[in-house]
A = this chain, B = another copy of it.
Amino acid sequence: QQSSMTREEGIEKIAELVKGIRIAMFTSVSEDGRLHSRPMGTQSAEFDGTLWFFTWKNTEKVDEFQHNPHVNVAYSEPSKQTYVSVSGRANLVLDKAKMQELWEPPLKAWFPDGLDDPNIALIRVDVESAEYWDSPSSKMVHLYGM
């Protein structure tokens, strides 16, 4: 089922669905073509068409998306029957001002040295398309050209 929503309505719908889902699975492609996913903490700022994650620079996922930028971010909340798949391209961002803007105290669990950690970085995912399954019908809705 393809949606007739505008880009703005699509972004609003995704924002509403992923709100409060604190962990997403972030999938990237390794050089040998395998798909790896890992849990990543999401931002509490409302989704506006771009996704941001904090990471360390020297990790496998960074190597993977620098080689092949295609990634998927999957949100699932079975208790609410909410499932969202976001496809996009990932970029490493080293901008300290942006990090300051996005920093939230719960990130201390993963980054105890906070923004002083010389190895901390941001991943920006530019979203290309998304799908969601909404309760109660659980029908898939495609959102293109985001």
Interface residues in chain A, defined as those with a beta carbon under 8 Å from any beta carbon in chain B: 22-23, 25, 27, 29, 33-39, 68, 70-72, 74, 76, 78, 83, 85, 87, 128-129, 131, 133, 140
B133 touches A74 (CB 8 A): no
Q: Can you pick out 21 interface pairs between chain A and chain B where the beta carbons lie within 8 Å of each other?
A: A22-B78, A25-B25, A25-B74, A25-B85, A27-B35, A27-B37, A27-B85, A29-B35, A29-B70, A33-B70, A34-B128, A35-B72, A35-B87, A36-B85, A36-B87, A36-B131, A37-B74, A37-B85, A38-B131, A38-B133, A38-B140
**Are A70 and B131 in touch, CB under 8 angstroms?**
no
Q: A37, A71, A131: which has the most chain B beta carbons within 10 Å? A: A37
- Which residue of B23, B36, B38, B83 contacts A25 across the interface (Cβ within 8 Å)? B83
Q: List the B side residues contacting A87 at CB < 8 Å.
A: 34-36
Is the beta-carbon distance between A76 and B25 smaller than 8 angstroms? yes
Please measure, in the bound complex, the distance between the C-alpha atom of A27 and the C-alpha atom of B38, giving whole angstroms: 13
Besides A27-B72, A35-B70, 8 other A-B contacts (C-beta < 8 A): A25-B37, A25-B83, A27-B85, A34-B70, A34-B129, A35-B72, A36-B72, A39-B83
Select from chain B the residue with minimum beta-carbon distance to A140. Answer: B38
A34 to B135, CA, bound (A): 26
Contacts A23-B78, A29-B29 given; indicate if A37 touches B72 (C-beta within 8 A).
yes
